[in-house]
A and B are shown apart, each in its own frame.
Chain A
Amino acid sequence: MEKKIDNNQAPAELTFDITDERIFHHAVSFGFKGTLDQYNEDTKALPQTTEEETIDKLHRYLNEGGYTEDKEYFARFIAQLDASSTQLGGKEWRTFEVKKRRSNYRMGHGGKAVIALLPAMIFLILFTFYPIINTFIISFIEDFSWARGSGSFAILNYFRRLTEISNWQTGTPPPTPNWGFANYAYAFQDPSFTGAIGNTFILTIIIVPLSVIISLLIAVFLNSIKTLRGFYQTVFFLPYVTNTIAIGMVFSIMFSHESGGMLNQFLGLFGVEPQHWVTMSASKFNSGVAIVVYNVWNSMAFKILVFMSGLQSIDKQYYDASRIDGANRFTIFRRITVPLLSPQILYILITSTIGSFKMYTSVISLFGRSADGAGSFGGSDGLQWLTVVGYIYKNRDSRLAIASAGSVVLLLIVLVITLIQMQVSKRRVHY
Chain B
Amino acid sequence: MAQQTHDMYFADEKAHRRWKIGFYSSRIFIYLFLTLFGLFIILPFWFMIVTSLKAPNIYTHELSHGVSLWVSEPTFHNFQVIFGIVTEDGRVIAELTAEEYRQAEINGQISSSYNFGRYFLNTFIFATVSTALTVITTVLAAFAFARLDFKGKNALFAVLIATMMVPGEMMIITNYQTIMGFGWKDTFAGLILTNFVSIFYIFYLRQTFATIPNELYLASKVDGYGEFEYLWKVMIPIAFPTITTITILSVMGAWNAFIWPNLVANGTHPIFGNDMRLVSNGLMSIFSAQAQGKDTIMVAGSMVVTAPLILIFILFRRYIMRGISRSGIKG
Determine if A154 is an interface residue (Cβ-Cβ < 8 Å): yes
- Can you name 13 A-B pairs with beta carbons within 8 Å? A113-B148, A116-B141, A119-B136, A128-B197, A232-B34, A246-B306, A247-B306, A253-B47, A256-B295, A305-B324, A306-B324, A389-B167, A392-B169
Q: Which residues of B contact A235 (CB under 8 A)?
A: 38, 41-42
- The interface-forming segment of B59-67, B77-85, B101-109 is B59-67
Determine if B265 is an interface residue (Cβ-Cβ < 8 Å): no
Determine if A356 is an interface residue (Cβ-Cβ < 8 Å): no
Contact partner of A247 among B259, B302, B331, CB < 8 A? Answer: B302
- In this complex, the member of B256, B302, B317, B324 whose beta carbon has the largest number of chain A beta carbons within 10 angstroms is B302
- The interface-forming segment of B92-100, B239-247, B267-275, B285-293 is B285-293
- Nearest Cβ distance between residue B290 and chain A, in whole angstroms? 8
Dominant SS at the B interface?
Answer: helix
Assembly CA distance A42 to B173 (angstroms): 45
- In this complex, the member of B172, B227, B292 whose beta carbon has the largest number of chain A beta carbons within 10 angstroms is B172
- Nearest Cβ distance between residue A266 and chain B, in whole angstroms? 10
Q: Which residues of B contact A252 (CB under 8 A)?
A: 287
Assembly CA distance A389 to B173 (angstroms): 11
Determine if B161 is an interface residue (Cβ-Cβ < 8 Å): no
Determine if A26 is an interface residue (Cβ-Cβ < 8 Å): yes
Determine if A59 is an interface residue (Cβ-Cβ < 8 Å): no
Determine if A371 is an interface residue (Cβ-Cβ < 8 Å): yes
- Nearest Cβ distance between residue A279 and chain B, in whole angstroms? 10
- Inter-chain contact A260/B65, CB cutoff 8 Å: yes
Q: Which residues of A contact B250 (CB under 8 A)?
A: none
Q: Which residues of B contact A258 (CB under 8 A)?
A: 63-64
Determine if A182 is an interface residue (Cβ-Cβ < 8 Å): no
A127-B195, A131-B171, A131-B175 as given contacts; A44 in contact with B288, CB under 8 Å: no
Dominant SS at the A interface?
Answer: helix
Size of the A side of the interface (Cβ < 8 Å), in residues, is: 118
Q: Which residues of B contact A136 (CB under 8 A)?
A: 170
Instruction: Give A contacts to B, CB under 8 Å.
Output: 21-22, 25-26, 28-29, 38, 41-42, 44-45, 67, 106, 109-110, 112-117, 119-121, 123-124, 126-132, 134-136, 138, 151-154, 157, 214, 217-218, 221-222, 224-225, 232, 234-247, 249-254, 256, 258-262, 265, 297, 300, 302, 305-306, 308-310, 323, 329, 344, 347-348, 351, 358, 360-361, 364-365, 368-374, 389, 392-393, 396, 400, 403-404, 406-408, 410-411, 414-415, 418
With A119-B136, A152-B177, A297-B41 known, 5 other A-B pairs at CB within 8 A are A28-B218, A127-B193, A131-B178, A218-B34, A250-B302
Question: In this complex, what residue of B is CB-closest to A108?
Answer: B227
B51-79, CB under 8 A of A: which get 1 and which 0?
10000000000111111000000000000
Question: In this complex, what residue of B is CB-closest to A263?
Answer: B67
Assembly CA distance A138 to B173 (angstroms): 10
Q: Which residues of A contact B176 (CB under 8 A)?
A: 396
